[in-house]
Amino acid sequence: MPLPATSIDKLSDHSGAYVICVTCARCQHQREMDPRSLANILGWNTTLKQACTRLRCSQCQARQIKVEIAFNRKPRGWKSNPS
């Protein structure tokens, strides 16, 4: 389940172990980004809000995007069959 983008402050939060889910508001194109791709350009101390102001849709070039955060690995102690 994706979380709002406000759950992450800097790109370095949670050691970068999350995925940035971006959806275009105009054409509904979706993309998942690794925070490392943004950190290589902007640096790990950049806030997610600052990084998202630079994003645009790769299909229609619109800047109206919706950003959500999803974690790409299971939390510690998670059991697939808790019984």
For residues 32 and 21, is the Cβ–Cβ distance under 8 A? yes
Annotated domain spans of the chain = 3-70
Residues 4-27 have pLDDT tens digits of 777 788 988 888 888 888 999 999
The pTM of this model reads 0.75
What pLDDT does residue 25 have? Answer: 92
Residues in CB range of 19: below 8 A, 6 or more apart = 32, 33, 34, 35, 69, 70, 71, 72
Q: How confident is the model at residue 70 (pLDDT cuts 50, 70, 90)?
A: confident
